[in-house]
Amino acid sequence: MFKKFLATVLSASLIMGLCACSGASSETAAGSAPAADGSAVEAAGDTAGEEKVTETAAAETEKEEESAESAEPVTLRMAWWGSQTRHDITVAAIELYEQEHPNVTIEYEFFDFDNYFTKLKTLVASDQVWDIFQLGGNFPEYIDKICYMNEFIDSGLIDVSDIPETYLKITQDTAGNQIGLSNGLNTYGIAYDVDMFNEAGVPLPAENWTWDDYKDAALKISEATGHFGSSGLASSEFIAGCSTYIGQQGSVGQYGFFNLDLTGMGFEDAQMLTPYIQMRADLIKAGASPDAGAEMEITNIENDFLVTGEAGMTWVAVNQFPTIYDICKEEGRTLALATIPRVKPDGPAGAVIQSSQMLCVSKDSQYKEEAAKFIAWFQTSVECNKILNGERGIPVADSVRAALEENLTEGQQIMYDYVSLVGTFETPEKVNVLSPDGQDQVVDNYRNYIQQVVSGEITAEEAADKTYADAKAIFQ
């Protein structure tokens, strides 16, 4: 009934890679790859053969250059959200693509998470969505603006043969439509300051630590150091307290916040939400976690209170860990990565490996084929990914992973090892990591309800009932 996630979702090549290496940082890897023309394969003593290969390669290069020069000028619009590191390396990748494709100009915009979706909703309403845009599990809300990539793959316009079928499927819907191409494999964890834990006399998190342990650690760190024990969770509050927390109760796969086919709720008792809500409200009231006002100061992972030295730990998408690890290392601080706390030590882990985000082609685009070509290049070009270096998650293309594995930072190694660990956890036979249309409002309300519990306007039990009613109303 149950399975180890890596046994069925991750390919053998990635399993081996996870045991030794990773990639998700602002630093570029210096790994090399065989030449595109195959000249890395030696033909000992065959001088004529070498000359022929060289002549063929030169002819192909000349042909490509002539094609690029004669191609129609194209201007693509692209946008994404993320940290400053992500912005810088994405811009560098775009500049490389423009060098390789002189007829293509890419006009780009980048935002923090909230402002990205504010702008996207405006563009959706005016039928002007960027040609290339980034989405996560909330893509169903924008499905009417996504051009499926199946036709580009089936026609041979773009080559995704380097991406294993299992990784193509993580950005497909249940009907097999290729919504986009994944930016990388990812999961969630708790990043923490080792020295701050030690200073407060708090044991470092065990693999099966609980939410009670998390609360106790946050309170002790806050009391001992005067800093927040835990940073704020912001938009991830719903992921932690609803999607993850409900899935951690009962047996593996018994409950989910929504049901698998996204037609209703995946549990019946709203009070299953209460303990987490009360725990978070208690931490905020005690000053061990930032309130709504302080949380607004966090605009991206690089100025999270953990990174600025003002908190002992934070919830993190693990592809972000190498970046913050490097920042803190420069300041003489050591970060580590812990698993998501559980409801019970021997209960479900609640962690799954999924796509971090994906790049999609817009239905509003006048150059859908060119947009698709860029996305395929972005995910499969070794040279491009030496720049990106897995910052968005573990790359899905085999050759890219092989190249990045040659040179890893300490933070990247920790990230890869962590994903390997999560991959060994028992998971449900089926997992749905997508979001139903209308979830955004439920998420916003949920965060507000926690603040109302903090202020005493409502109880945690009432907040749980309200959250359940809001979510259930999506399907009515």
User: 32-43: per-residue pLDDT in tens?
Assistant: 222 223 332 223
Residue 457 and residue 379 share a domain: no
**DSSP letter at 250?**
S
pLDDT at 305 over 60: yes
Do 444 and 456 lie in a common domain? yes
Closest CA to 335 of 394, 408, 401, 418: 418
Mean pLDDT of 451-469: 98
Residues 154 and 293 occupy one common structural domain: no
Mark whether 457 and 330 lie in a shared domain.
Answer: yes
CATH code: domain of residue 342: 3.40.190.10
Q: In this predicted structure, what is the pLDDT of residue 140?
A: 81
Domain that holds residue 86: 72-184+356-420
pLDDT for residue 169: 85
Least confidently predicted of 5-9, 18-22, 194-198, 303-307: 18-22
Q: Which of 48-52, 99-103, 165-169 is modeled with the greatest confidence?
A: 99-103
Examine the domain organization and report whether 339 and 366 are in the same domain: no
**Whole-model pTM?**
0.72
Structural domain includes residue 234: yes
Q: Residue 403 to residues 34, 316, 378: CA-CA distances in angstroms?
A: 10, 26, 15
Structural domain contains residue 200? yes
Q: What is the pLDDT of residues 265-283, one digit of tens each?
A: 999 999 999 999 999 999 9
Residues 298 and 361 in one domain: no
Distance CA 136, CA 216 (A): 32
* 65: pLDDT strictly greater than 70: no
Instruction: Mark whether 149 and 247 lie in a shared domain.
Output: no
pLDDT at 8 over 70: no
Q: Which has the closest alpha carbon to 77: 59, 56, 94?
A: 94
Are 456 and 327 part of one and the same domain?
A: yes
Q: Is residue 229 part of a domain?
A: yes
Residue 430, burial from CB neighbour count under 10 angstroms (0-12, 13-18, 19+): exposed
Do 120 and 263 have their domain in common?
A: no
- pLDDT given for residue 49 in this prediction: 38
Residue 452 reports pLDDT greater than 90: yes
Count of other CB atoms within 10 angstroms of residue 261: 9
